[in-house]
Amino acid sequence: MAIPLLFFSCSTNSDDPVLEPIVAMDIYDESYGSNEDNSMDIFLPEGRTKESTPVFVYIHGGSWTSGDKSEILAFRTLLEYSFPGYAIVSLNYSLYDLGTGSGQFPAQENDIIDAINYIASKTDDWNVSDELILAGASAGGHLALLHSYKHPEIGNIQAVMALFPPTDLISLYDFNTLTQQGLQLLLDGTPENKETAYLESSPINYISSTSVPTVFFHGSEDVVVPISQSELLESKLKEAGVSYYYEAIPGQGHGFGLSTYPIIIQKAADFINSEL
């Protein structure tokens, strides 16, 4: 049984030290890099220890052009229930700016690398484990998968969770005109003249037999990221022999109904716990 870490404080009635448990702590807008977008919010549970407190890292969605780390607030209570004893970190990262053209890929990929390295450097200060679960929704799911498969040596990633993620940017390019326009801006070209950029930014191209356990969900009626993106992911994971859990959510689109999230988050936790 894990024993909560204790610290000493002075009693007002005696010179003898009094043992008090480490309390929960919320840290907002912690910088992890030089860019103003390089910030994170950290939610540390009470009684945490380096031996027993893994970290759940969440990456927000928003088509790589919008969104904020505060997205986690809609799920925080659910995550704390299904992943008890975990610390939770929610990341901001570079967004593509339609006005200036800044923030093209691979800026987002590099930001996730910096964030994971920063979290690893803070395990002593935060009294948390170096074991990470990487998770995200939509564009955030893409970045979580990309890091987990492409950079397995950076961070002690134990499993990855994704909601309605883009997984193969070349096939996604053909989905509709709006998607084509967005990806052309993000990757500075088309799959024809920037093929390497598309390949290097697609998580499915980095799956191997040693890839981490993966859990993901996708709505059958998604008109932003087609469910075929998760079907491709499932095919690649199965081919490589990677442990995974995938569920298509019938009748739902890009973002699920409020009653669905508690169910899928608990299913994700059950799968991850069975793998660790």
pLDDT tens, position by position, 223-240:
999 999 999 999 999 999
Lowest-pLDDT range of 9-18, 20-29, 138-147: 9-18
Asked if residues 237 and 267 have their Cβ atoms less than 8 Å apart, the reply is no
Q: What is the pTM of this model?
A: 0.92
Q: Which percentage of the chain shows pLDDT scores above 90? A: 91
Tens digits of residue pLDDT in 69-112: 999 999 999 999 999 999 999 999 999 999 999 999 999 999 99
**Residue 12 — pLDDT band, cuts 50, 70, 90?**
very low
- What is the residue-averaged pLDDT of the chain? 93
For residue 87, give the DSSP letter. Answer: E
CA gap 106, 87 in Å, rounded: 28
Segment 134-151 mean pLDDT: 98
Which residue is associated with the tokens 């134990």? 158
**Residue 19 — pLDDT band, cuts 50, 70, 90?**
low
Return the bridge partners of 159, or none: 133
CA gap 84, 71 in Å, rounded: 20
pLDDT of the residue at 132: 98
Residue 206 CA, distance from chain mean position: 17
Nearest CA-CA partner of 23 in 131, 127, 123: 127
E-strand spans in 25-153?
25-31, 39-44, 55-59, 87-91, 131-137
Give the burial class of 40: count Cβ atoms within 10 A of its Cβ; 0-12 exposed, 13-18 middle, 19 or more buried. buried
Indicate the Cα dihedral angle 39, 189, 232, 75, nearest 10°. 20
Segment 25-39 mean pLDDT: 95
Return the bridge partners of 135, or none: 58, 161
Joined tokens for residue 86: 């975990």
The CA radius of gyration of the chain, in Å to the nearest whole number, is: 20
Lowest-pLDDT range of 7-11, 12-16, 72-76, 174-178: 7-11
